[in-house]
Every structure is written in structure tokens, then in C-alpha cells.
Amino acid sequence: MATMTDVARCAGVSVATVSHVLNGTRPVLPHTRQAVLDAVDTLGYTPNTLARSLVTARTRSIGLAVSAISNPYFTEILQGVEAAALEAGYSLLIADPHDDPRHERTVVQLLHERRVDGMIVAPSAEPHDLVRYLRRHSVPTVFLDRVIDPRVLEDTAVDRAVASKAAGGTEEAGTGFGAGTPRFDQVCAASAEPTARLVTHLAGLGHRRIGLVAGLPGLSTTSERIAGYRDGLTAAGLAHDERLIVSGHSESSGAEQATAVLLGLSDPPTALVTANNAMTIGALSALRRHGRSVPGDLALCCFDDFAWADLFSPRLTAVAQPSRELGATAVRVLLDRLAEPDRAARTVRLPCAFVHRTSCGCPEEPSGTVESATAASSTLSEKGTVS
């Protein structure tokens, strides 16, 4: 097996120069860099990543913890994370927390014990223990898809401050962040405005009772889409009926039960919004089981577009999230954090698109018409909390 010394001899340079080229630790003249790369190719040299990590204290690996990896939405996020990490020269370690706070804490610890340089985590509905662990061990982390309530981050900052003072430290509990306290960045798609867009679209078609199959309680995506649903009703001048909001717990089976509840109301909805792709499948199953047609008996719009949404009959009107770009953005934000640990925390919201098809009751078109579903900017904002 070729060594770095062999590469240096073949390229006619020092071992230090080879190291600088391979690790990017210092600028090297273009012709010298090419000579090193040619020598690497000629000799078939493979860097010893374990030895390099012992020297640099970096493993060039990223931990990714997301639930429901089989869900097409998270699969596309994973593809975005993997592509961006590979482009930056990082490997990926993946774990599924199953949206269970205890399991989440366990898998994140396992990833941390494998000395990943940083983590990208889609947090559960109860992330207190997760945040405490990440803060206690100063793990550079980007929260993905679901943002964490600033009060949770502040609570854990206070916990850390109290522990620091008990150990003789100087961090003050009331300041939130002391010197060396890790800042957590967050990357997500806009949720409220696109959901309101679905509601106002249905209202514009004449619907006055619009139901919502909401996600798992406690998730930011759930609360934001409920808020968007209510905003849409207000904008359309429609009354709020809390009986029309039923939780599908972000799962197909839960949505099937939730849809049955809505259909059983004395004054059931004439239109339905489902808050993620899995719940759309469950809602369609319930409607078929109850002999209801879409959009003949009930109009349907869904949050999350997916590959076969255009193949259903009728074709599904949906909000499309920029899933791959979310994953790639999370990697870029994490790499920025690794390069500059003390920079201000950022919350990045990417815009969604409204894909107009026929399940809402509109006339058939050759293909889905894509419109902006939110005015949110994809510019990386220097915000410490979600507005």
C-alpha cells in the first residue's frame, strides 16, 4: 500500500506539501497541487482517515438523525444531505430516532461516540433531553425540518448555566448563552403561509367547511400548519370550528381514523387539507372505505408533494417542499458552524411551491401548475430564533 512518503517522492515534493494538498490546510501552487494529485492517482494512494483524525481531531463525518427514513420526504432530504456532504468531503452516519424522545437521545449519543464532527437532527416533539445532551457536550448541531421552540433552547441554556456555577464556573443563568456555549442553527421549510394558501384556494372554490388532518402534537410543523390553516380561514372570512381540526399523528393509520371522525360529524367538511404525505394516503383510504369520491364528494389538498401525486386519479393538488435543498442547506449551515463555532445562530426558512392539480375540484390540466406558495426568502438569515 502506497504511503504519503511514496506520494511525496513521486511528485518531487515534501510530505508536508502532500498533506496540505490532501487536507486543504494551506494554499499550494496549482502545478504543485496537480503533481501531487497525479502521484496519488498513479500510486493508488488512499489516505488513512483514522490517522488523520487523530492529528486533526476531525473525522470529516456528519451524523444524521431523522425519523421515518422510508418516508419519501425524508428520503429526498437524505439525498440532499448525502450529496452536499460528499461534495464537501464528508461521510455520513445515519440513525432513525423513531420520533421517540428516549430513543432520540440514545441514537444521538451513539453518533456522538463515533466522533462525528457535527450533527443534523430532525428533533422529536419533546427535545429537552436531546438539547441538554448536545449542549453539555458542545456538539455542533443543525436542527432540520422541525424547529425547536426558543424557550426550550433557553431552558437548557439556564440548566447549563446553573451547572456551570455549581462547578465554580462564571456563566450567569440569566444570560442564556455564556462563553463557549454552542449555538444551534435551524433549517426548515415555511409551513404556515403555504397551508393558508391551500385553505384560501379551497375557499375560493366555494367551500365553507374545510377540515384539517393535523400532524403529531408538539412538532413545530404541526403547530405552524394549524396556525396557517386558521390564518387561511380568517383571510377567507370563514368561521373557525375546532371540531374540523383532528390529529392524524403524522401517520397514515392515524389520518385514516381522523378522516373518519371528520366524516362522522353532523355537518362534515366539504373539503380537506392533509398536513403531510403519509396522512394524505390515510385520508384517501378512509374516503374510499366510506364510499366518498375526490373531488366529487369532498375536495382534497395536501401538504407535501411526492413522486406519484401526479399519478393519482384525481391528481393531487399539493404544497411541494424543497426537500433536497433543505438537506443540502443543513449541511452548508453545519459546515459554516464548524468553521466558525461562535457565529450567531441562524434559522433558515426555505420557500415552498403550490402545485395546482385536480383533487381540489379544478379542471384538468396537462400538468401541475407550480406557483409560489410563500413569500419567505431562502436567504440565510442571521436570526437566533424563529419569527
DSSP string, 197-209: HHHHHHHHTT-S-
Is residue 215 within 8 Å of 279, Cβ to Cβ?
yes
CA distance 40 to 323: 36
Instruction: Cite the DSSP H helix spans in 216-322.
Output: 220-236, 252-263, 277-289
Cα separation, 356 vs 360, whole angstroms: 8
Contact 342, 380 (CB under 8 A): no
What CA–CA distances, in Å, run from 32 to 39, 46, 47, 119, 140? 11, 19, 18, 35, 34
Domain 61-189+325-350 in CATH 3.40.50.2300? yes
> To which CATH superfamily is domain 4-47 assigned?
lambda repressor-like DNA-binding domains (1.10.260.40)
Q: What is the pLDDT of residue 334?
A: 96
pLDDT of residue 46: 75
Report pLDDT for 183. 83
Other Cβ atoms within 10 Å of 203 Cβ, number: 18
Nearest to 248 by CA among 226, 275, 209, 221: 275
Give the number of other CB atoms < 10 A from CB of residue 378: 14
Pairing of strands 299-303, 271-274: parallel
> Which CATH fold topology does 192-321+352-372 show?
Rossmann fold (3.40.50)
Residue with cell 406519484: 308
Show me where the domains of the chain are located.
4-47, 61-189+325-350, 192-321+352-372
Site of grid cell 393558508: 196
Instruction: State residue 372's pLDDT score.
Output: 66
CA dist 353 and 80 (Å) reads 18
Q: Note whether 4-47 and 192-321+352-372 share their fold.
A: no
Question: How far is it, in rounded angstroms, from Cα 371 to Cα 122?
Answer: 27
Rounded distance, CA 386 to CA 281, Å? 30
Work out the mean pLDDT of the chain and round it to a whole number: 85
Cα(161)–Cα(169) distance, integer angstroms? 8
Q: Using CA atoms of 314, 318, 324, 329 in order, give the dihedral in degrees to the nearest 10.
A: 180
The number of C-alpha atoms within 13 Å of 115 and in the hemisphere containing its C-beta is 9
| Per-residue confidence in pLDDT tens, the chain, 387 aa | 788 899 999 999 999 998 888 877 788 899 999 999 999 989 888 766 555 554 555 678 999 999 876 688 888 999 999 999 999 989 999 999 998 999 999 999 999 988 899 999 999 999 999 999 999 989 999 999 999 987 777 665 545 544 454 445 443 333 344 444 568 999 999 999 999 999 999 999 999 999 999 999 999 999 999 999 999 999 999 999 999 999 999 999 999 999 999 999 999 999 999 999 999 999 999 999 999 999 999 999 999 998 777 777 889 999 999 999 999 999 999 999 999 998 999 999 999 999 999 999 998 765 556 676 654 333 344 443 333
Per the CB < 8 A criterion, the answer to whether 81 and 92 are in contact is yes
The pLDDT, as a whole number, for residue 383 is 40
The H or E element containing residue 142 is strand 141-144
pLDDT of the residue at 221: 96
Task: Count CB neighbours of 296 within 10 A.
Answer: 9
Per-residue model confidence (pLDDT) at position 201: 97
- CA-wise closest residue to 199 among 305, 303, 296, 309: 303
Unique residue bearing C-alpha cell 488513512:
48
User: How high is the pLDDT of residue 178?
Assistant: 46
Per-residue confidence (pLDDT) for residue 386, from 0 to 100 = 38
Sign of CA dihedral 153, 157, 160, 162: negative
